């Protein structure tokens, strides 16, 4: 059994910047305080390798920033385009059939390092990319054509470019890179290139070095964390009439509050508010968070007096109405290692019990690594999961698993989602292909010291996952939760005595 704790990991913790003596790598090595070289010292017992380029040993058994496999895949155009398409990232290849319409109004170069945008460079232009010679000439002359976008000038196009750049880097399994984004005259955003080993100007090199140092400080602080992560959530559900029509939640609920409604943006940027959303009081205890969610459901029942309306959960219970089961994390540092652990150890197992229509939410929603920073509590919102409110057991299991991962992710090194076949199975909802992988991941979870804290609920959750019984996206969730009109004497049953 694995008996390591974060404190024991910290005692041997070190970061090493490993490179092949490339010009940019040597420049960075001179600007950062992180120990570096073209090979690991013989006596080095550290924890994380920060790679630059591929002209050195892979060190496959060490946690990594910018794994060599991901660099090589990103440098292979065909593999890169295939991966971006799988994750729902629009690229040049995905719009190849419309080359006659490839006229850009803006292009951007976005520097990304570890979930953050470092610098953005902009070029306003009208360029027909069907002219390959012109495109190749533009690529040779990009450096002088772009101007830096100041932080106070981040308008709509810049925000979209940075969002897509971050998504592209993560989708490729990278942790940093220079992403070229094009904004078409139609308004579509295309990823034109992702360079995992970018050329670095003076300012760009300084920005990368500072980001590397910030990463080292952040990881060191996170490994010293002794308090448990605080969890919150804001799962969504849909109201459906007896005639099968969606009833907009804003008929009963306000935007804000413990029980509120959330928006969907339709084509033409028209905003509607059909989704009901629950916002329970956060807690470090998964059981208490489940109780808090149950309390908000009872508040919602009073706010929605029409008992004939069914409450639907899941991913896409009705076409065109995607639902999310977002989980909020605070008192822990948002970092790529935690995000990938949540993808592998939470999102991947949940696939085995999702409903038939849940997969229709992906990849526009439910893509891997989908997160949003939260200024209010200083943490982040993990947005990949569908709404998981089909029963108290599933909800409690999701919260317990999320808590276990957030406090132990350093001890969960397996990342099957770095493999293309596993990623494809995730997005396609191929349960039988993923069954064996999920079983191995759960064995890793059971070895954690913290597993015993939630063993009863997690073992029950594992049994449900192993059954691969899909939840019914058209089932009224009030019945499982014993919410009115299903709240008579059955309300005292054990599963509601949380």
Q: Over its length of 498 residues, how does the chain's per-residue pLDDT go in tens digits?
A: 344 455 455 455 789 999 999 999 999 999 999 999 998 888 777 778 999 999 887 776 678 999 999 999 999 999 999 999 999 999 987 766 555 566 888 899 999 999 999 999 999 875 544 444 444 544 444 445 899 999 878 888 999 999 999 999 999 999 999 999 999 888 889 999 999 999 998 899 999 999 999 999 999 999 899 999 999 999 999 999 999 999 999 999 999 999 999 887 665 555 678 999 999 999 999 999 999 999 999 999 999 999 999 999 999 999 999 999 999 999 999 999 999 999 999 999 999 999 999 999 999 999 999 999 988 777 999 999 999 999 999 999 999 999 999 999 999 989 999 999 999 999 999 999 999 999 999 999 999 999 999 999 999 999 999 999 999 999 999 999 999 998 755 444 445 545
Q: Output the pLDDT for position 497.
A: 47
Q: Output the pLDDT for position 47.
A: 76
The 10s digit of each residue's pLDDT in 384-394 is: 999 999 999 99
Q: Output the pLDDT for position 188.
A: 85
Between strands 64-65 and 48-51, the pairing is: parallel
The 10s digit of each residue's pLDDT in 275-320 is: 999 999 999 999 999 999 999 999 999 999 999 999 999 999 999 9
Q: Output the pLDDT for position 270.
A: 56
């Amino acid at each position: 059994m694995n008996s390591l704790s974060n404190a024991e990991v910290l005692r041997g913790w070190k970061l090493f910047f490993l490179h092949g003596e490339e010009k940019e790598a040597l420049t960075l090595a001179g600007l950062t305080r992180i120990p570096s070289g073209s090979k690991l010292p013989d006596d080095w017992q550290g924890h994380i390798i920060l790679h630059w380029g591929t002209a050195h040993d892979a060190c496959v058994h060490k946690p990594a920033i910018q794994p060599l496999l991901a660099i090589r895949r990103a440098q292979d155009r065909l593999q890169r385009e295939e991966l971006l398409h799988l994750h729902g990232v629009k690229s040049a290849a995905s719009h190849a059939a419309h080359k006659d319409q490839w006229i850009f109004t803006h292009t951007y170069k976005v520097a990304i390092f570890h979930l953050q945008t470092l610098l953005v460079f902009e070029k306003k232009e009208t360029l027909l990319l069907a002219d390959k010679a012109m495109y190749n000439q533009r690529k040779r002359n990009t450096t002088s054509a772009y101007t830096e976008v100041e932080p106070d000038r981040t308008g709509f196009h810049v925000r979209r470019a940075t969002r897509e750049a971050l998504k592209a880097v993560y989708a490729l399994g990278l942790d940093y890179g220079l992403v070229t984004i094009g904004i078409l005259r139609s308004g579509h955003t295309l990823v034109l290139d992702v360079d995992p080993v970018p050329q670095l100007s003076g300012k760009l090199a300084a920005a990368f070095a500072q980001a590397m140092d910030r990463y080292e400080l952040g990881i060191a602080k996170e490994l010293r964390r002794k308090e448990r992560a605080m969890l919150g959530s804001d799962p969504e559900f849909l109201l459906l009439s007896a005639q099968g029509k969606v009833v907009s939640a804003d008929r009963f609920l306000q935007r804000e509050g413990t029980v509120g409604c959330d928006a969907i943006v339709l084509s033409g940027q028209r905003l509607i508010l059909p989704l009901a959303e629950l916002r329970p009081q956060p807690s470090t205890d998964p059981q208490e968070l489940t109780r808090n969610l149950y309390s908000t459901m009872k508040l919602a029942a009073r706010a929605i007096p029409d008992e004939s309306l069914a409450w639907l959960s899941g991913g896409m219970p009705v076409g065109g109405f995607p639902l999310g089961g977002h989980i909020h994390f605070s008192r822990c540092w948002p970092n790529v290692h935690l995000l990938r652990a949540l993808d592998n150890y939470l999102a991947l197992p949940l696939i085995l019990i999702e409903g038939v229509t849940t997969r229709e939410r992906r990849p526009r929603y439910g893509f891997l690594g989908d997160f949003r920073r939260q200024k209010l509590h200083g943490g982040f919102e993990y947005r990949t999961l569908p709404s998981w409110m089909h029963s108290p057991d599933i909800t409690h299991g999701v919260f317990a698993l999320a808590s276990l991962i957030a406090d132990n992710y350093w001890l969960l090194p397996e990342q099957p989602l770095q493999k293309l076949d596993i990623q494809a199975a995730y997005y396609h909802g191929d349960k039988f292909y993923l069954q064996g992988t999920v079983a191995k991941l759960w064995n890793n979870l059971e070895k954690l010291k913290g597993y015993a804290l939630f063993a009863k609920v997690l073992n029950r959750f594992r049994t449900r996952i192993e059954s691969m019984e899909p939840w019914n996206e058209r089932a009224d969730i009030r019945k499982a939760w014993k919410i009115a009109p299903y709240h008579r004497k059955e309300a005292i049953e054990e599963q509601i005595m949380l």
